[in-house]
Amino acid sequence: MLRLHGGKASGRLIGGNLTLLATLMGTPCELETDGAIVFTEDVREDIYRIDRMLTQLALGGKFERMAGFLFGHCTECNKNPSFFSLEDVLRDRFGNGPQPALSGLAFGHIDQKLTIPLGVMATLDADAGTVEITESAVV
């Protein structure tokens, strides 16, 4: 796990696959992130594409009023040394805050993953490296 920016925040868990979240921009299904802890991950994407999708969401205002940010895994993503690393991209986007942000959490397209319930309240403590789900979810 990597702390991108410290701090503590509470909000509803909202997110999903980064490619799909970026694709939904400008549609009725666009992600509502105000006051939310936004989580995302991806699979088999080049890092420059991850950067582009995060930039699209940022330019669409999706990170301005969020409470915090979580990035899971980017499985089989290109680590071409001639480009920035995923860590570089995430630090550039979220390292200066003001919201708490973590990456490398155990969700995404990986064998041993956590299930994240959509829409439930949670508390992110980036300094402690914890995410606590604070209300029950219907499964």
- Do the domain assignments include residue 53? yes
Total count of residues recorded for the chain: 139
| CATH at residue 19 | 3.50.30.60
pLDDT value of position 99: 98
For residue 138, being part of any structural domain is answered with: no
Q: How many domains does the chain have?
A: 1
In-domain check, residue 74: yes
Is 139 part of any domain? Answer: no
Residue 139's pLDDT is what?
Answer: 63
Average pLDDT, the chain: 92
Q: Please spell the DSSP secondary structure of 10-79, one letter per residue.
A: EEEEEEEEHHHHHHTTTSTT----TT-EEEEEEES--HHHHHHHHHHHHHTTTTTS-SEEEEEEEET---
The parent domain of residue 39 ranges over 2-133
Q: Across residues 59-70, what is the average pLDDT?
A: 97
Is the model's pLDDT at 55 over the cut of 80?
yes
pLDDT digit string, tens, across residues 65-124: 999 999 998 888 876 666 788 999 999 999 998 999 999 887 777 677 778 889 999 999
